């Protein structure tokens, strides 16, 4: 599958909150409907994302938030909310 939309294209407006930024990445990378990307959305069952897509999510998270993410851990996350919580925890840890 080609990825015609770059979530990091210059001049884009990013949401201010971390969950919003992660949702933005998912919507843009995988051309998902924004309404489908909720904290409760299951990565595989609801969004049809697989382990290869998880690698792209990790790369995008690292690029956006500036930390090295645990690829295996992210790949095992079942919901978008789990990714939200993971990124927020990593950012909190980095700022302390």
Q: What is the pLDDT of residue 13?
A: 79
How far is Cα 13 from Cα 78, in angstroms, rounded to an integer? Answer: 27
All domains in the chain, ordered by first residue: 18-95 (1.10.1200.10)
Are 31 and 20 within 8 A, CB to CB? no
Cβ atoms within 10 Å, residue 39: 14
Supply the pLDDT for residue 8.
Answer: 73
Q: Per-block average pLDDT, block size 10, for the chain (96 residues)? A: 61 86 95 96 96 93 94 95 97 88
Residue 1: per-residue pLDDT: 47
Sequence-separated (6 or more) residues with CB below 8 Å from residue 37: 23, 26, 27, 47, 80
């Amino acid at each position: 599958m080609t990825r015609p939309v770059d979530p990091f294209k210059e001049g884009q407006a990013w949401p201010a909150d971390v969950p919003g930024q992660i949702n933005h990445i998912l919507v843009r990378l995988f051309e998902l409907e924004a309404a489908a990307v909720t904290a409760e959305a299951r990565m595989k069952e609801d969004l049809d994302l697989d382990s290869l897509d998880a690698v792209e999510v990790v790369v995008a998270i690292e690029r956006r938030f500036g930390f090295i993410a645990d690829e295996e851990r992210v790949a095992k996350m079942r919901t978008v909310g789990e990714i939200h919580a993971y990124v927020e925890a990593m950012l909190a840890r980095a700022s302390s």
